[in-house]
Amino acid sequence: MSFAPGDIVSALASVTGYRKYFLSLGVNDAGVDCLLYLNSEGGFDGNLEFDCGRFPMIPPSDTGRTVLSLTGLARLNERQAKLFKAERLGEIDADLAREMLNHATTVKTLSRAEKAFVLERLALLVP
């Protein structure tokens, strides 16, 4: 099961059993899905906060915010995708992708390789 850049993905968290939400960046050269976490709490370097309404495909958070975490990539292989019941919920629009891309150019919380991958994949979503 592979997800496309811009897909919003839901998967069960292995520790808590709650659903976690991610922005897919698609599959890397090793054939593994790479994702960025979508959280409800911000305030950390590399985060970009949005109103929950910008992500209608996921339940609104208690904070009213959906926070894109640009601190590292989550990776999901096919076995993990099945185990954690990963599913595509929808996709982001080009305006949201543009805001993410603009912010991603400024972050210092990713390795060079991760940042290059994030920028390349977000750029695919911006016409």
**57 inside domain:** yes
7-56: per-residue pLDDT in tens? 999 999 877 778 999 999 999 999 999 999 998 877 778 899 999 999 99
> Can you spell out the DSSP letters for 15-54?
TT--EEEEEEEEE-TTS-EEEEEEES---STTEEEEEGGG
**14 inside domain:** yes
pLDDT at residue 32 in the model = 95
**30 inside domain:** yes
The count of domains in the chain is: 1
Nearest-5° Cα angle at 73, 38 to 126: 70
101-123: per-residue pLDDT in tens? 999 999 999 999 999 999 999 99
Cα(114)–Cα(22) distance, integer angstroms: 16
**1 inside domain:** no
**2 inside domain:** no
**47 inside domain:** yes
Cα(7)–Cα(93) distance, integer angstroms: 10
Q: Which domain holds residue 36?
A: 7-123
